[in-house]
Amino acid sequence: MWDFRTGDNSLEKVLKIYDEDLQARLSSKGVEKRIILRTCNRLEIYYDSDVIFDDDIFPGSKFLRGEDAIRHILRVSAGLESMSVGENEILRQIKEAMEQAIKDGRSNKFLSMVFHRAIKLGKEIREKTEISHGKVSIPSIMIDQIGKRGLINSKRIGIIGTGKMAATIVKYLKKEENPIVTIYGRNEDAGKELADLFDVNFRKTLDIPTIIEECDVIITATTSKTILVEKGEIEKISKKMLLVDISNPKNIDENFINPSVELLNLEMANQIMEENRKRKEKDIVLAEEIIRKEMDKIYTKIAEGEIEGYISEIYGRARSIMEDEIVKYNAAIAAGKDPSETLIVMGNSFINKILAPQTLALKRMIREGKTESVRDFLDSASDFSDDESDQKDFSFEDPKESRNRQDQNHQLSQMP
């Protein structure tokens, strides 16, 4: 995983990897079942496999597995791992990541179960706490900062980008008083659709000098892997201007010298978001307790799935033994053997073959000092009467299907 905390510009570098290349790298290592969560501030790959990646494949990454990986996606869904704690956008992004993986045939029962529960948990935490109250998303925080500088009312605001982040910015701006908003981009269909939706202007251009001339504030919100507003263009600006970069990788070169131009970017928003986190410490503690309880539920479900698989195999083996004994019984009867004696022989053979593995396992546990566990199991088993057992539906599945189900209960890994 890489997120905004990752040092050495590793996040910016990995976000420049196109999806096709990323998928190819994963497939080359045999990781077929995976869910990729990609946002402006994180790239996380969740997969159901024991594969561990070398640093040369995915440099600068952090690797979590098993319980740590599951807890992490729960914390992400709760907004605890977001740059701005409690932000809501991450829930939509997790849902879309899961749906895309399912659509592409890259998810499985286990991954989908974890992500479904993460989404449900994220909603629950936002209902039971105030962690998402106030201005919690990066776009809303940035719009608030623009407003504090008096640059919204009747000011010309240009938004470079036609995607979901740009749409979020326009949505927040339209709640303010009299902004003059223009969307800039090369994708005419997406740009016009967005402009029509929010009743703003659209211009099919990414000519930066033109955009600078037409705007008082420029906000970049794209997935571009390169700088869009370069140092030389910024240093030519002669009027007061505010540049806001909420893209990752950065879209605006920050190494300029021009006292007329102010730049706000994600790094500069850190102080605001840290203050936001401190105000919500009590909600964070409550959210973490809800996550702890959910972890218990998830691991109970995983354990139940594994045990059900083993039990299905036991019943499948019992059915196979029974069928073999019936064949032997019929052959003995056909050979003229006494039915009563043959039935007793079959019954004894059936009992021995069925109970031998369990008996040997219990004796081994006793030798290993697990007497209390054996006693608890036997006491629990003795609580059920024969009548109760007769009323239960102990149906079994094919052992092959059972093994497939156990495979789906492997511990989740988060890559790398």
Q: Which residues are catalytic?
A: 40
H helical segments located in 199-260: 208-214, 231-235
The answer to whether the CB of 215 falls within 8 A of the CB of 154 is no
**Max CA separation in the chain (angstroms):** 111
What does the alpha-carbon distance between residue 112 and residue 125 come to, in Å, rounded to a whole number?
20
The answer to whether the CB of 94 falls within 8 A of the CB of 122 is yes
AA identity, residue 389: S
| Exposure string over 9-24, b if 16+ CB within 10 A, otherwise e | ebbeebbeeeeeebee
How would you classify residue 150: left for phi > 0, otherwise alpha for psi between -120 and 50, otherwise beta?
left
Cα–Cα distances in angstroms (integers) from residue 200 to residues 6, 177, 184, 319, in the given order: 37, 14, 11, 70
What does the alpha-carbon distance between residue 398 and residue 320 come to, in Å, rounded to a whole number?
11
Peptide bond before residue 357 is cis, with ω within 30 degrees of 0: no
What does the alpha-carbon distance between residue 3 and residue 11 come to, in Å, rounded to a whole number?
6
Long-range CB contacts (within 8 A, 24+) of 325-328: 325/349, 325/350
AA identity, residue 187: N
DSSP H or E stretch at residue 66: none
Crossing angle (nearest 10°) for helices 138-148 and 270-279: 110
One-character DSSP codes across 127-166: HHSSTT-SS-SHHHHHHHHHHHTT-STT-EEEEE--SHHH
Cα–Cα distances in angstroms (integers) from residue 29 to residues 51, 334, 407, in the given order: 7, 58, 18
